[in-house]
């Protein structure tokens, strides 16, 4: 989706700065809904802009990954406030955030694939030529990310999106207290996760799509708990810890599944087909093993 056609972006005059002192717990139960959106989004926006600026001259995989995480957190925040932002505005912003996250993730995805191919080599598979080709794909992904994620454009989009959201919230829910709203949205995210987890638990066979759905729902809930923890009742530190543990298992499975998809969808002109096939067979075996482990963890959570 080309957001530029529907959403004119102002050119930024100044850059945002991350204030670590105020980004930890910016909320209190007396805050209004509009003010909390700005308090929660601004540090994440500032981090995204700073990382985009740093990555214009660097190719650090972790930097690209953290940029993708920032975009995902903002997407979760838009979902949380969507009842007051409206369907169209939420869809516009999240569509562009999804696109940016995908572009930012390309380098990280090839790094993960490269690490897995190294593990395949350590286990005896002859994948040296494919590993070299994967490093070249990684270099191409860096160029693609740097070309399509420019800090000025990222800042312009995010600042404009934040301004539009703030205006919409002030006109639709000014002075409404945050606690009841936050608890309601967290419960909604919890129900979505429970529904997807039960689907995995009730089906005799585990499907990749169901595990991916659980992973996405778990991420959303964890982000919301981290955002709203200062104002919602009850301690949720244990829940966040449990979600993180489940996400780790699901993430290990997702790394394999995503790498398999990445390699299947790429062209390797200089690599013999039998080498690519051997790597895919190894990945398929590992994917099945990790899928079983992830499924057991999800079933335990659902039970």
Task: Render pLDDT for 275-295 as a digit per residue (tens, 0 to 9).
Answer: 999 899 999 999 999 999 999
Any domain includes 121: yes
Confidence of residue 26 (pLDDT cuts 50, 70, 90): low
Any domain includes 1: no
Query: What is the SS3 assignment for 36-93?
Result: HHHHHHHHHHHHHHHHHHHHCCCCCHHHHHHHHHHHHHHHHHHHHHHHHHCHHHHHHH
Residue 71 and residue 48 in contact, taking contact as beta carbons nearer than 8 Å: yes
Residue percentage of the chain with pLDDT more than 90: 57
Give residue 176's pLDDT: 76
Residues 302 and 16: their CA atoms lie apart, in Å, by: 42
* Neighbouring residues of 141: CB distance < 8 A, sequence distance ≥ 6: 106, 107, 109, 110
SS3 177: strand
Q: Does the structure show a pLDDT above 90 at 24? A: no
Residue 99 and residue 1 in contact, taking contact as beta carbons nearer than 8 Å: yes
Please provide the average confidence, as pLDDT, over all residues in the chain: 85
Residues 111 and 86: their CA atoms lie apart, in Å, by: 38
- Tell me: the pLDDT tens digits for 225-246? 999 988 887 767 888 888 888 8
Listed range (170-174, 204-208, 210-214) with the worst mean pLDDT: 170-174
Any domain includes 287: yes
Q: How far is CA 74 from the centre of its chain?
A: 9
Domains contained in the chain, number:
1
Q: Does the structure show a pLDDT above 70 at 249? A: yes
Q: Does the structure show a pLDDT above 90 at 206? A: no
Which domain CATH number covers 108? 1.40.20.10
Residue 9 and residue 42 in contact, taking contact as beta carbons nearer than 8 Å: no
Any domain includes 51: yes
Residues recorded for the chain: 303
Any domain includes 238: yes
> Token digits for 190?
């919890």
Any domain includes 267: yes
Q: Does the structure show a pLDDT above 80 at 16? A: no
256 or 17: which leads in pLDDT: 256
Residues 64 and 68: their CA atoms lie apart, in Å, by: 6
State residue 32 phi and psi, 5-degree precision.
-90, 165
Any domain includes 3: no
Any domain includes 62: yes
Give residue 170's pLDDT: 87
Residues 236 and 189: their CA atoms lie apart, in Å, by: 14
Q: Does the structure show a pLDDT above 80 at 62? A: yes
Q: Does the structure show a pLDDT above 80 at 1? A: no
* DSSP category for residue 86: -
Residues 259 and 80: their CA atoms lie apart, in Å, by: 31
Per the structure, the complete domain to which residue 130 belongs is given by 27-302
Give residue 161's pLDDT: 93
Q: Provide the whole-model pTM.
A: 0.84
CA-derived radius of gyration, the chain: 21
Residues 14 and 279: their CA atoms lie apart, in Å, by: 48
Give residue 9's pLDDT: 31
Residues 88 and 168: their CA atoms lie apart, in Å, by: 12
> Token digits for 122?
């350590």
Confidence of residue 11 (pLDDT cuts 50, 70, 90): very low
Confidence of residue 17 (pLDDT cuts 50, 70, 90): very low
Tell me how crowded residue 208 is: count the other CB atoms within 10 A of its CB. Answer: 14
């Amino acid at each position: 989706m080309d957001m530029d056609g529907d959403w004119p972006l102002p050119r930024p005059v100044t850059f945002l700065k991350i204030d670590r002192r105020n980004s930890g717990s910016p909320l209190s139960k007396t805050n209004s809904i509009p003010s909390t959106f700005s308090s929660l989004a601004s540090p994440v926006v500032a981090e995204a802009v700073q990382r985009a600026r740093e990555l214009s001259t660097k190719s650090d995989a972790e930097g690209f990954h953290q940029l993708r995480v920032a975009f995902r957190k903002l997407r979760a925040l838009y979902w949380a406030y969507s009842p007051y932002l409206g369907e169209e505005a939420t869809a516009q912003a999240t569509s562009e955030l999804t696109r940016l996250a995908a572009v930012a993730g390309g380098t990280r995805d090839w790094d993960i694939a490269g690490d897995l191919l190294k593990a395949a080599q350590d286990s005896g598979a002859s994948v040296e030529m494919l590993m070299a080709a994967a490093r070249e794909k990684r270099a191409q992904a860096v160029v693609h990310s740097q070309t399509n994620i420019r800090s000025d454009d990222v800042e312009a989009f995010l600042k404009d999106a934040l301004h539009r959201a703030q205006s919409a919230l002030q006109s639709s829910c000014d002075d409404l207290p945050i606690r009841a709203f936050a608890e309601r949205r967290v419960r909604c995210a919890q129900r979505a996760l429970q529904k997807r987890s039960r689907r995995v638990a009730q089906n005799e066979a585990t499907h990749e799509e169901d595990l991916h759905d659980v992973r996405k729902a778990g991420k959303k809930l964890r982000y919301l708990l981290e955002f709203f923890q200062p104002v919602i009742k009850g301690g949720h530190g244990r829940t966040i810890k449990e979600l993180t543990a489940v996400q780790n298992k699901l993430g290990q499975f997702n790394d394999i599944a995503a790498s398999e998809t990445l390699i299947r969808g790429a062209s390797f002109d200089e690599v013999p087909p039998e080498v690519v096939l051997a790597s895919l067979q190894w990945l398929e075996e590992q994917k099945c093993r990790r899928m079983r482990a992830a499924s057991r963890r999800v079933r335990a959570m659902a039970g």
